[in-house]
Structure 1
Amino acid sequence: MIQRIQTVFLFLVAVSMIIVISFPIWQQVNPEQTQMVTLNAWSLTTTDNASQEVIKSEGNIYLGILAIIAAGLASFSLTQYKNRTKQMFLNMINSLVMVVTLALIIYTSHQANAEINPDVNGAFVLGFWAIFGGMIMNLLANRFIRKDEMLVRSVDRIR
């Protein structure tokens, strides 16, 4: 139901998780060795700054799969507007999936940072911050769904 604000929030959750899939999550430049390490949803790639040649690439497909699951859960929850309790449950599961994704990203970036250059921290970029945006939108959607549910229950009590 497009008239409800939680529909917009759930759509924004799905969009933010697609941004996580599409954009880099973490980057670190090692000036001494002229290397750049980039973490995205699918791989951890080390490239040479001078020639832009890929030196090493490790697959991290689990980050991409978790982001797709979170986007899918948000989209499915968007269609469940007639059953508000089921919608709140799906959003709770989606919050857990996003927290696990965030924890794995932090763990992976910490491991890569320790391996490449432990003295300098890398920078989290757009893909990382999109997860936080998605989590906030998910919490707001749950808040408004709960508000609707309480309104319906209060109207039923008056009858």
Structure 2
Amino acid sequence: MIQRIQSVFLLLVAITMFSLPFLTIWVQVNPSQTEQLKFNPWALVKTSINSGQIIEHNNNYLIGILAVVAGFIALYSLLQFKNRTRQMLLNMINSLVMGVALGASVFITYKANETFNPNATGAYIIGFYAIIFALIMNMLANRFIRKDEMLVRSVDRIR
């Protein structure tokens, strides 16, 4: 099953998307260095830097759910190695799911930054770049699947 390079790429997509719910996507600190705003795939949390207490907690499950769904789609696509056209379709759907997750995270961080500290921008950290990494790996997997499909069709044409 993990014999071709596209299988490795799909496995990397699944691992990355299943690890995303445990990573932080964005962090912003206010100018007085007393409060911090963190965005992870499950919530937007405002904490006090000095005491570490949570000041405000807004649940937002969208990114976490999309990450888990994208991980399962990547695993299912990995198991569909005998049907390359279905695998390409699943990867396109997965790209759409990950793109929505990326767009939603940018939108949520933009709105949070607007209310928390509009003069400075927050820092995107590992969770944000994990989504981009998974999108690139998914694109590469789709490219190699398409390449294999074209090779099989050209061999069938010769017969």
Do these two structures clear the TM 0.5 threshold for a shared fold by scoring above it?
yes
1:61 aligns with 2:61: yes
Deviation above 6 Å: which 4+ runs of structure 1? none
Shift of 1:33: 5.7
For 2:87, give the aligned amino acid. Answer: Q
For 1:36, give the aligned amino acid. Answer: Q
Aligned residue for 2:104? 104
Aligned residue for 2:49? 49
1:18 aligns with 2:18: yes
- Per the alignment, in what secondary structure is the counterpart of residue 81 of structure 2? coil
1:131 aligns with 2:131: yes
Shift of 1:85: 0.1
Give the number of equivalent residue pairs.
159
Per-residue deviation, residues 98-146 of structure 1 (Å, max 9, x unmatched): 1100110000000100010000100000000001100000000000000
TM-score for the superposition, normalised by structure 2: 0.98
Root-mean-square deviation (CA, aligned residues, Å) is: 0.8
Shift of 1:18: 2.1
Q: Distance in 2 between matches of 1:30 and 1:75?
A: 40
Q: Distance in 2 between matches of 1:16 and 1:2?
A: 17
Structure 1 segments unaligned to the other structure (5+ residues): none
Aligned residue for 1:89? 89
- Per the alignment, in what secondary structure is the counterpart of residue 120 of structure 2? coil
1:71 aligns with 2:74: no
TM-score for the superposition, normalised by structure 1: 0.98
Q: Distance in 2 between matches of 1:33 and 1:116?
A: 12
Q: Distance in 1 between matches of 2:19 and 2:129?
A: 10
Shift of 1:54: 0.4
For 2:103, give the aligned amino acid. Answer: A
For 2:70, give the aligned amino acid. Answer: A
Shift of 1:31: 3.3
Q: Distance in 2 between matches of 1:33 and 1:115?
A: 16
Query: Percent identical across equivalent pairs?
Result: 55
Aligned residue for 1:7? 7
Q: Distance in 1 between matches of 2:62 and 2:104?
A: 9
Shift of 1:19: 2.8
Shift of 1:32: 1.6
For 1:48, give the aligned amino acid. Answer: S
- Per the alignment, in what secondary structure is the counterpart of residue 3 of structure 1? coil
